[in-house]
Amino acid sequence: MTSFARAERAALADALLAAGPDAPTLCEGWATRDLAAHIVLRERRPDAAAGIMLKPVAGHTKKVQDRLAAGDYASLVDKVRTPGAIAKPVFMEEAMNLVEFFVHLEDVRRAAPGWAPRELPEEYAKALGARAKGSARLSARRFPARILVKGAEPFTAGRGGAQEVTVEGAPGELLLFFTGRQRHADVEVTGPQDLVERLKGARLGL
């Protein structure tokens, strides 16, 4: 089984190391050390990972993440590079991290000047496209219009209605757009100008 996530894990670790611990990322309020700590926490600290999604325990998650971020950066990135026990099987790596590592690698790359979209292998783009559909429908479910998404296979998202916005781009770019990175995704958004701007500024993501 091909593991796109495992290859992306290595690329993400390389990018984190090259950027250094205090470089900006697209994750608001996070430098590269914070992003690396998030990845390690998510994979290796199940006691704290719940707070990523559940607000009642988010305080504990932040304390653990801050402690990880304050440690030796090279060691932290080495933990990013090495799959934790839960991600060692390739099928688990792919299920857990296909989206995670693609998005976070772009969080590092696109926070620096001079970035350009990557040319992705066809099968990798196809795998990301499958995830983009689910992400778009979940993250934009409250958007008050019909969103026509044009990628490898067109689909719709949003609450529907008489008005329509079209978002068109490559699968990875669509995934970035619908995980809250609208201003940094290489997509074309067309439709009524007020709705276009509303979608670009919407709080999308899981």
pLDDT in tens, 20-73: 999 999 999 999 999 999 999 999 988 877 777 778 878 888 899 999 999 999
**What distance in Å separates the CA atoms of residue 195 and residue 150, rounded to the nearest whole number?**
17
DSSP string, 39-71: HHHHHH-HHHHGGGT-GGGHHHHHHHHHHHHHS
Burial class (CB in 10 A: 0-12, 13-18, 19+), 90: middle
List, in sequence order, every residue forming a beta bridge with 96; answer none if it has no partner. Answer: none
End-to-end CA distance of the chain: 27
DSSP 115: -
State CA 42 to chain mean position distance. 14
Is the domain covering 125-201 a CATH 3.30.70 domain?
no
Query: pLDDT of 60-114, one tens digit each?
Result: 888 999 999 999 999 999 999 999 887 888 888 899 999 999 999 999 999 999 9
Q: What's the CA gap between 114 and 26, in Å, rounded? A: 15
185 sits in which H/E element: none
Task: Break the chain into its structural domains and give their ranges.
Answer: 4-109, 125-201
The per-residue pLDDT for 206 is 57
What are 142's two structure tokens? Answer: 């409250």
Question: What's the mean pLDDT in 193-197?
Answer: 96
Q: What is the pTM of this model?
A: 0.92
**pLDDT value for 59:** 87
How many Å apart are CA 202 and CA 185, to the nearest integer? 14
